[in-house]
Amino acid sequence: MRYSLFDSPIGQLVLSGEDQTLTGIAFADSTKAPEIDSSWSRDQTAFAEVARQLRAYFAGELSQFVLQLAPRGTPFQRRVWEALRMIPYGSTTTYGKLAEALGDPRATRAVGLANGRNPISIVIPCHRVIGADGSLTGYGGGMPRKQWLLAHESRTAHLF
């Protein structure tokens, strides 16, 4: 496993994966950040394309990531994460609407749990999911970051 660090406007990110395939993006100071052990190799060039696209995203110049992703999870989690990638930039949806889109309106709680286990923050935009009443709900990177990401996308969505 290789990893690199990326300084973003909302905190340092840990990018991880194998070869050129991204398996994780986590906030370095989050409880969900991966445990970097001695078997991992730090390589600041390993995810140069990921870093380039993240820089463009944060600069308001990119609305859709085109990267090789391999999030690790159950088949249901991977379906949810793929559905998250379909939420348009600058938009939000609810857990209930995601469950309906996946064909099971009763799976709202399961969708929420899968959303919370998203291993590739920002690129798989779990921050775009809000409560049924329109309120902001939990985010592994913390609510201030979720608010920042949604505000950033709202400010720049007209550019695309």
Q: In terms of Cα–Cα distance, which of 127, 24, 114, 116 is closest to 69?
A: 24
* In contact, 13 and 6? CB cutoff 8 Å: yes
Catalytic residue among 13, 54, 126, 129: 126
Q: Is 126 a catalytic residue?
A: yes
Residue type at 10? I
Instruction: Give kind and range of the element (H or E) at residue 146.
Output: helix 143-156
DSSP state of 127: G
Q: What is the DSSP string of 40-80?
A: SEE-TTTTHHHHHHHHHHHTT--SS----B---S-HHHHHH
* In contact, 105 and 99? CB cutoff 8 Å: yes
- Which residues are tagged catalytic? 126
